[in-house]
């Protein structure tokens, strides 16, 4: 007897695979020297990565297969492709190109570590959710709050962050000489910095379960639409600014979580 499955189960996986195709296509455009299109491919892959899981939940078609597929596609889209892009753009004819290749591959390795840790964390959350009512209050607090943050920088965010120097170059070519050796050294250090943040054990903010008051919904939606329009009009200015703000947010959020944890301990 042939087993049939609903087509709705395939939709999220097809979306994930379309993101993979777009993300890998960035390498093709990089080889052709079409840098803006290459970066746009990574950005579009990041957007697709943000919606495929939500669509799976809406269609009630989440699966272990889909989760594993998503993780593998993330490694290709946000670990391999951006590393090759940044290398081809900045280091292909660099005097110390082997060192540059090493820093790019280190970024890829850190993305792989980050994704493996994310998968393990998801399994941990699922196992804790299945515990009986004998679960103590501290365990419930941990499970609830694990949904509100990531460990390290998420893979799509890390990919966008290491491409920020490319985005800046699209508009600042006449202001800064990006071919000087000092800038190449800085770029290597920057890539390593983002890589370490990606594989780090510190917590970064997650908006997956972020809730807002209904009375502010219309205002925030209007604000988001305005921001979206500005990003569409001036992507190579606004995205780097948002990236810098995100990096600044990391230490602030760590201090906030520490404060909230201490407050919870005193209230128990």
pLDDT tens digits for range 93-116: 667 778 889 999 999 999 999 999
pLDDT for 59 equals 83
pLDDT for 264 equals 62
Number of H helices, E strands in the chain: 11, 2
| 53 within 8 A of 70, measured Cβ to Cβ | yes
Query: What letters, b where the CB count within 10 A reaches 16 and e where it falls short, cover 54-88?
Result: ebbeeeebeeeebeebbbebbbbbbbbbbbbbbbb
Burial of 196 (0-12, 13-18, 19+ CB in 10 A): middle
The set of residues, in sequence order, having a beta carbon less than 8 Å from that of 188 and lying 6+ positions away, is 99, 100, 103
Residue 135 has which token pair?
A: 């679960």
pLDDT tens digits for range 248-267: 998 888 888 787 777 766 66
pLDDT for 266 equals 67
Nearest CA to 158 among 207, 208, 193? 193
The ranges of the chain with pLDDT < 50 are 132-134, 137-143
pLDDT for 87 equals 92
DSSP per-residue codes, 187-204: HHHHHHHHHHHHH-SSEE
pLDDT for 100 equals 86
161 vs 163: CA distance, rounded Å = 5
Question: Could you give phi then psi for residue 163, rounded to 5 degrees?
Answer: -90, -5
Per-residue DSSP letter, 151 = E
pTM of the model: 0.84
Domain ranges of the chain: 77-267
Cα→Cα distances 234→171, 172, 228, 231, Å: 10, 13, 10, 5
CA 146 to chain centre: 17
pLDDT for 207 equals 72
């Amino acid at each position: 007897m042939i087993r049939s499955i609903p087509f709705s189960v395939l939709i999220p996986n097809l979306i994930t695979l379309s993101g993979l195709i777009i993300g890998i296509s960035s390498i093709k455009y990089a080889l052709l020297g079409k840098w803006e299109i290459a970066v746009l491919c990574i950005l579009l892959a990041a957007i697709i990565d943000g919606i495929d899981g939500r669509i799976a939940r809406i269609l009630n078609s989440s699966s272990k297969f889909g989760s594993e597929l998503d993780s593998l596609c993330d490694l290709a889209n946000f670990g391999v492709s951006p590393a090759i892009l940044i290398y081809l753009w900045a280091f292909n004819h660099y005097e110390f190109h082997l060192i540059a290749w090493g820093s790019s591959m280190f970024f890829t390795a850190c993305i792989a570590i980050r994704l493996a840790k994310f998968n393990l964390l998801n399994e941990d959350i699922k196992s804790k959710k299945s515990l009986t009512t004998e679960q103590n209050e501290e365990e419930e607090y941990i499970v609830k709050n694990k949904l509100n943050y990531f460990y390290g920088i998420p893979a799509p965010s890390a990919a966008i962050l290491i491409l920020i120097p490319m985005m800046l170059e699209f508009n600042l070519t006449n202001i800064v000489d990006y071919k000087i050796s000092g800038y190449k050294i800085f770029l290597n250090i920057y890539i390593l910095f983002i890589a370490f943040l990606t594989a780090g054990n510190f917590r970064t903010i997650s908006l997956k379960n972020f809730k807002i008051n209904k009375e502010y919904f219309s205002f925030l939606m209007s604000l988001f639409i305005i921001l979206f329009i500005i990003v569409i009009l001036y992507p190579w200015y606004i995205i780097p600014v948002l990236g810098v703000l995100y990096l600044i947010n990391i230490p602030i959020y760590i201090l906030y979580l520490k404060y909230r944890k201490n407050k919870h301990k005193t209230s128990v």
